[in-house]
Amino acid sequence: MPPKKIFLIAGEASGDLHGAHLIRELRRLRPNLKYRGLGGAMMAREGMELVHDLTREAVLGLGDVLRKYFLFRSIFNRALEDVRSFQPDAVILIDYPGFNLRFAKKIKKRFPVLYYISPQIWAWGGRRIHTIQKTVSHMIVFFGFEEALYQKAHVPVTWVGHPFVDLARSNQSQSGLRNEFFGGSGQDPKQKIVALLPGSRRTEVERMLPEMLAVAKMIDSRIPTVRFLLSESDTLPAQLYQQILSKTMLTHPVQSVRNRSFDLLCASDFAMVSSGTATLEATLASTPFVILYKTAFSTYFLGRRLIQIPFIGLVNVVAGRKVVPEFIQHEIRTPTIAQEAAYLLEHQDLREKMILDLKQVLEKLGEPGAATRAATAVLEFLNHS
């Protein structure tokens, strides 16, 4: 019997990461499967034959999508031709709903579709549940409340927990990380470390990093012992960050750390985080933080009318209440955020309260082994299809 084949699509850095770990676990459990699809370097390193590096085309907001419309249409059509030629036993779509749900509509009659990392239909785009009901054979989800939602909609679903419970680990102590990032000066007990996580997409970094640096400058003027760490994504050029940094003068230079966001959070006393999965990393690190987010006005204008929940930060969504302050769009006011940061840096009781809340959220993310459970769900589906 020839080996079974899987076609996968991931469109962003986070999807590439989770797709890579899924392939790794599938290879461990069944070594003879074949993989092909769209994704990024991490999935390719795990053995997937890469049709196109879709992570290099990441967009944020309606304006970005429109500017790249013809490119995405070309990639989409090429992927359709490729999946028909490859004839997979299953297609696994990873997050990226704008692209992936359209793809599912096109192939639903010919290939079974599994969806890994649910679209955020609980936040906005609730009508997508009807598309999912018609096109997706099985959902594999990260959160318990998503399982309940799909069960209610009669969509076959498996809740596996969140892979970050396994992935977000540091092999060093906070003092060891500080010493690595700052040398001997990182051992000063009076020194406070603030992390800046502006996101992993170019437009996101271009919008968020200047806002974070403006807050950092105000914190710097209030707390002379503060030092700053900047998380850089390896999907973006270092020059992008340096160009933005060069426009902001701080007492101490910002220390950039590439592709080590969790270690950076573990080393820090406080963080400013662009909304997204990084909020869960900060939760796992038990690092007090605030969420900042700004997008194109057109995207924000439409989104505020579609969004169905009072929060955008995943940590607050999972908690079901505001555990972490959110500063969205016009709410991003430098003095207000700097004041919030200073309170958390200077008042241990406030820090301990937020840390306790974060640990309660952590309990809702499931047990270790999410990627293994996801791979097992895929193999069970293949065995019965």
Condensed to tens digits (0 to 9), the pLDDT of residues 140-151 reads: 999 998 999 899
Going across the sheet that includes 34-39, the strands are: 49-53, 34-39, 5-10, 90-94, 113-116, 138-141, 157-159
Instruction: Give the per-residue pLDDT at 227.
Output: 93
Instruction: Give the per-residue pLDDT at 305.
Output: 46
Over residues 299-321, mean pLDDT: 66
Task: Measure the CA–CA gap between 54 and 61, rounded to whole angstroms.
Answer: 16
| Residue 108 and residue 178 in one domain | no
Would the pLDDT of 297 be above 60? no
Over residues 280-309, mean pLDDT: 71
Instruction: Give the per-residue pLDDT at 21.
Output: 96
Average pLDDT, the chain: 88
**Picking from 171-180, 181-190, 218-227, 259-268, which range would have the lowest pLDDT averaged per residue?**
181-190
Over residues 208-223, mean pLDDT: 94
- Please list the residues that pair with 271 across neighbouring strands: 195, 289
Over residues 97-117, mean pLDDT: 95
Over residues 27-31, mean pLDDT: 97
Q: 12-21: string of b/e by CB count within 10 Å (b at 16+)?
A: bbbbbbbbbb
Task: Measure the CA–CA gap between 69 and 55, rounded to whole angstroms.
Answer: 16
Instruction: Give the per-residue pLDDT at 187.
Output: 61
| Residue 39 and residue 57 in one domain | yes
Asked if residue 288 lies in contact with residue 351, where contact means CB atoms within 8 angstroms, the answer is: yes
Instruction: Give the per-residue pLDDT at 228.
Output: 95
| Residue 207 and residue 348 in one domain | yes
Count the domains in the chain: 2
| Residue 139 and residue 187 in one domain | no
Instruction: Give the per-residue pLDDT at 62.
Output: 53
| Residue 123 and residue 53 in one domain | yes
| Residue 190 and residue 109 in one domain | no
Instruction: Give the per-residue pLDDT at 59.
Output: 57
| Residue 349 and residue 269 in one domain | yes
Would the pLDDT of 119 be above 90? no
Over residues 2-12, mean pLDDT: 94
| Residue 285 and residue 180 in one domain | yes
The percent of residues in the chain predicted with pLDDT above 90, rounded, is 66
| Residue 102 and residue 46 in one domain | yes
- Cα 251 to Cα 169, 179, 219, 258, 267: the distances in Å are 31, 20, 11, 22, 20
| Residue 177 and residue 316 in one domain | yes
Domain harbouring 54, CATH code: 3.40.50.2000
Over residues 260-279, mean pLDDT: 92
List, for residues 59-70, the tens digit of each pLDDT value: 555 555 656 777
The position carrying tokens 């944020």 is: 60
Query: Quick one: pLDDT band at residue 385, thresholds 50, 70, 90?
Result: confident
Instruction: Give the per-residue pLDDT at 27.
Output: 97
| Residue 98 and residue 212 in one domain | no
| Residue 36 and residue 183 in one domain | no
Instruction: Give the per-residue pLDDT at 311.
Output: 75
Domain assignment of residue 108, given as a range:
5-163+369-384
